A and B are shown apart, each in its own frame.
Chain A
Amino acid sequence: DIVMTQSPESLTVSLGERATINCKSSQSIFYNSNSRNYLAWYQQKPGQPPKLLIYWASTRESGVPDRFSGSGSGTDFTLTITSLQAEDVAVYYCQQYYSAPYSFGQGTKLEIK
């Protein structure tokens, strides 16, 4: 099974500043035949289900603000939130869908300083 490890576990950032969350997979989740990384990012606010932000490591879901971006390849990935807004306070999860079981990272809690 592929293990997903996120860092940091929690993050405090000032409004308007940049937040960076890292995600590392225990093996490569890049598929050579289609040159895609099988990595998604979700945002979860208290009392709500997760919301898809990014898929294929860097493709933003429709309606997601462009301050959210994903990067990385192979085993190392990053979610970046530029110009942090108050509504971005949430827990963020990465997920690999390269091979079942489609595991999630443990989550990163983002708070405002």
Chain B
Amino acid sequence: QVQLVQSGAEVKKPGSSVTVSCKGSGGTLRRYAIAWVRQAPGQGLEWMGVIIPILQSLDYAPKFKHRVTISTDDSATTAYMELSSLRPEDTGVYYCARAGSGDSSGFYVAWGQGTLVTVSS
């Protein structure tokens, strides 16, 4: 089974961008749906968007649509989430999560360890 390993914590200035990576250990992510989920401090889970590499499919939550870019590398071993125009309220833990394929592409069977992004001047 493909497990997910995320990049380390980031501290960013307001207005800048951050890129968080999510590497599949044990195989390619190509046939899976890979989602990004945010959790602000002490708050709940917020779905940001999803990529399905084998279908070249992308979908973003309207709230993030103009600021987030989700992608994978050519081999689909690593997924990326870039969030631009950062604000202090973007501070939180960002998770990547892996779903199954086909009809099972909406629920998440494996999660990365999370990446803390702190936005502060």
Contact = CB atoms under 8 A, between A and B. Distances in A.
B62 A105 contact: no
Given A49-B95, A100-B59, A107 B109 contact: no
A101 B45 contact: no
A1 B44 contact: no
Nearest to B104: A55
B41 interface: no
B112 interface: yes
Contacts of A50: 37, 45, 95, 97, 108, 111
Contacts of A97: 105-107
A51 B109 CA distance: 7
Given A34-B103, A49-B95, A101-B62, A107 B108 contact: no
Given A101-B61, A105-B44, A49 B50 contact: no
B17 interface: no
Chain B contact residues (Cβ within 8 angstroms of A): what range? 20 to 34
B45 A107 contact: yes
Contacts of A44: 45
Contacts of B97: 49-50
Most buried by A among B45, B47, B61, B104: B45
B107 A107 contact: no
B59 to A, nearest CB: 5
Interface of B: 35, 37, 44-47, 49-50, 59-63, 95, 97, 103-109, 111-114
26 contacts: A1-B62, A34-B103, A49-B97, A49-B111, A49-B113, A50-B37, A50-B45, A50-B95, A50-B97, A50-B108, A50-B111, A52-B108, A52-B109, A55-B107, A61-B109, A91-B44, A93-B45, A95-B47, A95-B107, A102-B47, A103-B47, A104-B37, A104-B46, A105-B44, A106-B44, A107-B44
